[in-house]
Amino acid sequence: MNLILLAPEALESDRLARVTDPRRLRHLREVHRARPGDRLTLGIMEGGIGQGELLTLDDHEATFALDALDQPPPPALPVHLVLALPRPRMLARTLEHVTALGVKQITLLHTRRVEKSYWMSPELEPEKIHRHLELGLEQARDTRLPAVTLEKGFRPFLEDRLPGLLAGRRGLLAHPGMAAACPRGIETPTLLLVGPEGGFIPWEVEKLLEAGCEGIHLGPRILRVETAVTALLARLF
């Protein structure tokens, strides 16, 4: 937690914040080992970032005297990530990593090799997703939450949603064995598609290429989803 992310209701006034969330209190005590008088970085959800002085800390609440929280969060990556739904634990980690890296639009997609049971996972409950996104924001000192959309059918996604998503974006389909290497250092708005643990099936690859996506590879090493996503984002942007 490199940033204490405040919900707007944590603000008692412009200059005073009260934190009561047990996770954040525990982190302040056990990781920061914070003491009254310490200065820490705080940010308001969807708002600015600045410093504050810890006034009080006990088992139930922490209070902060705030400086102006007027610094902007870091810039977002120009990417919409379409991720075939991974297994729940990998989903949790991947959401955290991609949020920390600055992704603001995420679509979780069903493809043939996604286990149907993954769609029933408690990890997909909105509060759970929110929690992973918050952890990513706090890690990276960001305040803007990504939007997460669930697409439970590949064909409706392909026919109804993909054309709109590709309007004004460069579509990149990450798939081992594609002819082109993943580009480096681009700034173009991009739609990046990453497959499930078993990969995209040939029919899905064919349809995504027909729809206008470019196939790209990351070399001969087949990476786990969370590693592949991180490597792709780092290399692309």
Which CB, 74 or 219, lies closer to ligand SAM? Answer: 219
Residues numbered 24-63 forming contacts with ligand SAM, rule: CB under 6 A: none
Residues numbered 151-210 forming contacts with ligand SAM, rule: CB under 6 A: 174-176, 194-195, 197-200
Minimum Å gap between C-beta 90 and ligand SAM is: 10
Residue 150 C-beta-side C-alpha neighbours within 13 Å: 13
Number of residues that bind ligand SAM (CB under 6 A): 18
Minimum Å gap between C-beta 230 and ligand SAM is: 11
Verify binding: residue 97, ligand SAM, rule CB under 6 A.
no
Cβ contact 213:191 at 8 Å: yes
Minimum Å gap between C-beta 112 and ligand SAM is: 12
Q: How many CB atoms lie within 10 A of CB 159?
A: 12
Minimum Å gap between C-beta 228 and ligand SAM is: 4
Cβ contact 4:43 at 8 Å: yes
Which CB, 134 or 226, lies closer to ligand SAM? Answer: 226
Question: Got the DSSP string for 164-207?
Answer: HHHTTSEEEEE-TT-SEEPP-S--S-EEEEE--TT---HHHHHH
Residues numbered 216-235 forming contacts with ligand SAM, rule: CB under 6 A: 217-219, 221-225, 228
Residue 15 C-beta-side C-alpha neighbours within 13 Å: 1
SS3 73: coil
The C-alpha atoms of residue 149 and residue 166 are separated, in whole angstroms, by 16
Minimum Å gap between C-beta 215 and ligand SAM is: 9
Q: For binding to ligand SAM (CB under 6 A), which residues are involved?
A: 174-176, 194-195, 197-200, 217-219, 221-225, 228
